[in-house]
Chain A
Amino acid sequence: MNLAAAELGAPRRRSRRKFMERYGHWLIILPPFLFLILFFLIPFAFALKISFAETAIRVPPYTDVLSITPDRHLHLALSLANYKYLLTDEVYAVSYVYSLRTAFFSTLICLLIGYPMAYAMSRSSKATQNVLLLIIILPFWTSFLLRVYALEGIIRENGLLNSVLLHLGLIHHPLKIMRTTLAVYLGIIYSYLPFMVLPLFATLEKLDNTLLEAAADLGRPPWRTFLEITLPLSVPGIIAGSLLVFIPAIGEFVIPSLLGGPDNLMIGRVLWDEFFNNRDWPVASAVAIAFLVFLAGPIALYQHYHAKEMET
């Protein structure tokens, strides 16, 4: 009885095994694949669709782009008005340019501070390295929003910075930093510095020390070794770190909203206001789509370097 059952079961088990060998990997691939298609990729199609709609006083607050007319015809109502509006109203062009400029200079400053930090970390002993790594990673884990709020405590008119400077007699009137461009820069640099240091450190740590020793043996001064070997070899880290700061910084909302003044119109903030204050969903969608088009290049570049990093 048992034997018969086993004989009957064997081919079935074998065929199940064969099935698993051929199609089993789809059981692993499909769940994340379908989830991300549905909840990450398809949403962009909806944003594109609604960017062609018009605002309407109803729920949800926009007109139908695709509809079925009473005589059963598919009706497509595309309106380019939102995109025209983006081109005619100066606010959008100004805020795009302003966001790009702010992100660019903050990235540059992050690189200038972050590179020496990562370099010093990579030159230190393993034990020191672990401690430093924890020190750099810890803020990365603490709340972004709370860190921006904490910075406000330092730079506001009666904050720590002004108190110290006044006390030392270096200034006689409190500096106005809050609600200025400087505050936005400080906010971005403070919040995004770990994103710059970590990829740089990862690249510099992997650097082949024998190359540096060989250069030193051949009598190269350290600064030339740095310029000729270390710097060129750390370019992937520089690019990865810069993109990790630059791309999210362009779309930053929390920092300009909490630290910046009314002139610090970054595109993320414009989109937010369009959506929450003006309740103009179609224009907000058009802003998002236009913004995405601008970002496609840098994001593709990041993907390229990241893929290379994962292969090696």
Chain B
Amino acid sequence: MGERFSPLLLSILCIGIAILYIPILVLIGYSFNASELVNIWGGFSTVWYRELTHNRQILNAAALSLEIGIVASTGALILGTLAAIALTRYHRFRGRLLLTGMVNAPLVMPEVITGITQLLLFVSMLQTFGWPHRGFTTIAIAHVAFCTAYVTITVQSRLLSADRSLEEAAMDLGSGPVRAFCEITLPIIAPALAAGWLLSFTLSLDDLVVSSFVSGPGASTLPMVIYSKVKLGLSPDVNALASIIIALVGTFVILAGFLMRRAERRRLLEIQMAER
């Protein structure tokens, strides 16, 4: 296909990309503003970044968010991969329709609904069993529930395109199903697993609504702190914090994408070499 765009198409593409990027770039620009007044450019300065390193509230919240993110995305990776295998490999089992529904619904379910319903469950559980107390545990469980959906979708589409005959060949040669899966299919779906974990991690790190509902007193995640600061008015240190988060996530995602592409190319090359 030749790259001949009509000017209209090209301009809409450019406008769309501009809409997506200008606010973020402006935000990063403002984070280096020396002036405390957001509308006046007071010269280049890193004062807001330095201020962040003394802000205990933000540092604690960031640590909590990172911990929850790692726990939740690892849990979601395990459950989501199992669900993806179940849905692609087993076409008839009792509850398949229900599992499909429960895996896809969180993708579109408004967060306020998920948040309040899960909170009511946790409160009732605490009343009956004395567990879980609202805070780290409840936030992590709630995040696993919605991140599982994203992992499942990512891994599922990869599994569907993976060639099953290789695994069957390994099993014919006497390897057990678990070993065949681990040695043949797992390397093929590894990029999807990495993508699913990374996506879960960023979603967990970003979640405000569900966390606010299920969290208890004293447990404030980073988005909760940012939200309450923004709600009170623009504070320049949030600009710096936001820039750091965006830069970290951006670098991470681009790097991961690059590494996955390289691994993929190497795998294809190996297949070509083997076929010769």
Contact = CB atoms under 8 A, between A and B. Distances in A.
Contact of A251 (B1, B8, B30, B112): B112
A184 interface: no
Contacts of A124: 1, 3, 5
B187 interface: no
B12 A46 contact: no
A37 interface: yes
A113 B99 CA distance: 34
A305 to B, nearest CB: 10
B1 A145 contact: no
A193 B105 contact: no
A152 B238 CA distance: 13
B249 A28 contact: no
Main secondary structure on A side of the interface with B: helix
B118 A39 contact: yes
B56 interface: no
Given A113-B12, A139-B20, A194-B20, A288 B242 contact: no
Contacts of A160: 22, 26
B249 A35 contact: no
A284 interface: yes
A105 B120 CA distance: 33
B231 A258 contact: yes
A25 B9 contact: no
Contacts of B114: 40, 43
A151 B110 CA distance: 22
Contacts of B148: 32, 35-36
A254 B208 contact: yes
A145 B227 contact: yes
A145 B22 CA distance: 16
Contact of A145 (B117, B123, B226): B226
Contacts of B205: 143
A114 interface: yes
A41 interface: yes
B249 to A, nearest CB: 6
A145 B223 contact: yes
A141 B117 CA distance: 26
A185 interface: no
Contacts of B227: 145, 254, 258
Given A36-B103, A47-B116, A292-B113, A29 B145 contact: no
Interface stretch (A4-12, A67-75, A240-248): A240-248
Contact of B124 (A46, A139, A189, A291): A46
A209 B1 contact: yes
B177 to A, nearest CB: 7
A50 interface: yes
Nearest to A135: B17
Contacts of A154: 22-23, 26
Contact of A151 (B1, B23, B120, B145): B23
Nearest to A31: B82
Given A120-B12, A142-B249, A149-B27, A268 B110 contact: yes
Interface residue tally on B, bucketed by range: 35 or more
B180 interface: no
Contacts of B206: 143-146
Given A40-B105, A251-B112, A113 B16 contact: yes
B257 interface: yes
B9 A35 contact: no
Contacts of B12: 113, 116-117, 120
A159 B22 CA distance: 12
A139 B86 contact: no
B172 to A, nearest CB: 15
B145 A139 contact: no
Interface in A149-208: 149-154, 156, 158-160, 163, 189-190, 193-194, 197
Contacts of A113: 12, 15-16, 19
A121 B13 contact: yes
Contacts of B246: 142-143, 146
Contact of A43 (B9, B21, B120, B257): B120
Closest 7 A/B residue pairs (Cβ) = A251-B110, A158-B39, A43-B117, A32-B83, A150-B23, A150-B27, A43-B121
Given A123-B9, A139-B24, 16 more contacts: A25-B89, A25-B93, A32-B80, A32-B82, A35-B79, A36-B83, A40-B105, A124-B5, A125-B1, A134-B257, A149-B238, A193-B19, A250-B110, A276-B212, A298-B108, A303-B105
24 contacts: A24-B177, A25-B86, A25-B93, A29-B95, A32-B80, A33-B86, A33-B98, A36-B102, A37-B98, A116-B8, A119-B9, A121-B13, A124-B3, A125-B1, A150-B24, A153-B27, A154-B23, A190-B23, A248-B110, A251-B113, A268-B110, A271-B113, A285-B120, A299-B105
Interface of B: 1, 3, 5, 8-10, 12-13, 15-17, 19-24, 26-27, 30, 38-39, 78-80, 82-83, 85-87, 89-90, 93, 95, 98-114, 116-118, 120-121, 123-124, 127, 141-142, 144-145, 148, 152, 156-157, 160, 177, 199, 202, 205-206, 208-209, 212-213, 223, 226-227, 230-231, 234, 238, 242, 245-246, 249-250, 253-254, 257
